[in-house]
C-alpha cells in the first residue's frame, strides 16, 4: 500500500521545467499506476475543460496530434508492464458536466491512434464504485 493522496508535487515539476527551459521534454507526466493482484494498471486522467465538450463525448482521437506522443509512451509502458491502460475523461468539480465520467480501456493502439477499446460512460457514483474496486486490488 502507498500513502494517501496529498497535494500535487509542484516542486518536482518546477525542477524539471527549470532545467529544460524551452527544450521539449522526451518524458511525460504519469497520472497514476499501481499493481493489483492480477497485474499493473496505468491511468491517465483527461480533464474536459471546454464547456462544449463533455466527458462522454471527448476522446483522444479528436486531438490525436496533440497527445500522440504521450499516448504512445503510456501504451508502451503498459505493454512492458503487461498491464491495462485506462483513460479517464472527467470535468472539473463545479462545472456543468462534473457528474459525467467516461472510462476508456485501451486494448490496442499504434501510431495512428486507438484501434480497439472498451468505453464505459458513467455518472460519478458508478465510477466511484469501479475505482474503489480497482484501488483495493479487485481486478475489474
Lowest average pLDDT, out of 16-25, 87-96, 104-113, 126-135, goes to: 16-25
The answer, yes or no, to whether residue 93 has pLDDT greater than 60, is yes
Residue 86: which residues within 8 A CB-CB, separation 6 or more?
41, 42, 43, 44, 103, 104, 105, 106
Tracing cell 499501481 back to the chain, one arrives at 34
Q: From CA 47, how far away is CA 93, in angstroms rounded?
A: 10
Q: From CA 11, how far away is CA 16, in angstroms rounded?
A: 9
Task: Please state the rounded mean pLDDT for residues 83-112.
Answer: 95
Query: Residue 62 has which C-alpha cell?
Result: 479528436
Query: Residue 108 has which C-alpha cell?
Result: 490496442
Amino acid at each position: 500500500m502507498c500513502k494517501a493522496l496529498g497535494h500535487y508535487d509542484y516542486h518536482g515539476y518546477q525542477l524539471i521545467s527549470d532545467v529544460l527551459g524551452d527544450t521539449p521534454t522526451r518524458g511525460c507526466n504519469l497520472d497514476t499506476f499501481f499493481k493489483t493482484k492480477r497485474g499493473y494498471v496505468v491511468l491517465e486522467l483527461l480533464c474536459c475543460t471546454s464547456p462544449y465538450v463533455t466527458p462522454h463525448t471527448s476522446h483522444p482521437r479528436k486531438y490525436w496530434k496533440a497527445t500522440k506522443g504521450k499516448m504512445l509512451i503510456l501504451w508502451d509502458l503498459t505493454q512492458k508492464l503487461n498491464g491495462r491502460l485506462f483513460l479517464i475523461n472527467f470535468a472539473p468539480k463545479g462545472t456543468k458536466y462534473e457528474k459525467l465520467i467516461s472510462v476508456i480501456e485501451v486494448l490496442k493502439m499504434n501510431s495512428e491512434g486507438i484501434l480497439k477499446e472498451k468505453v464505459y460512460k458513467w455518472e460519478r457514483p458508478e465510477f466511484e464504485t469501479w475505482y474503489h474496486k480497482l484501488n483495493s486490488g479487485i481486478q475489474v
